[in-house]
Structure 1
């Protein structure tokens, strides 16, 4: 699994689909939303179904072969 570190710079959270787009796993927000709908996105080890889930410092998001650590 490829580890990606994402530094949260604006505010105290980022929406899940925005994060997936920001680290270039999807080319746009709609594609990221489909990934969430398809159940291939995990937040801290659990399948996450909320596209707008608030991702905060310390969270780990898994999508396909990527593991995103939010710093």
Structure 2
């Protein structure tokens, strides 16, 4: 008998940076998110973040294109 793999509590409380940008409508596609993040156009908690799959947690602050958004859901 196999068990279904369940995400850990930490995994349920995170979102990838590129997915957050798409979800909030800051970019239109995953390709655009990749380009913007890897190009150094996005800040996470005041620091440039170039890892598009960086896991965001509640309370993180994302800055891009003049927008400043708090990660919260």
TM-score bin (small chain): 0.7 to 0.9
Query: Under a length normalisation based on structure 2, what TM-score does the superposition of the two structures give?
Result: 0.80
Which residue of the partner structure matches residue 6 of structure 1? none
Which residue of the partner structure matches residue 57 of structure 1? 58
CA distance in 1, matches of 2:37, 2:28: 14
> 1:1-71 to 2 correspondence within 5 Å?
11-71=12-72
Q: Report the structure, 1 or 2, having the larger strand content.
A: 1
Give the total of aligned pairs: 62
Q: Compute the RMSD of aligned alpha carbons.
A: 1.2
Q: Which deviations, in whole Å up to 9, do the C-alpha atoms of 1:8-50 show, x marking residues without a partner?
A: xx92100000000000111011101100011010000000010
Bigger Rg, structure 1 or 2: 2
CA distance in 1, matches of 2:38, 2:71: 22
| Unmatched tracts of structure 1, length 5 or more | 1-9
Query: Under a length normalisation based on structure 1, what TM-score does the superposition of the two structures give?
Result: 0.82
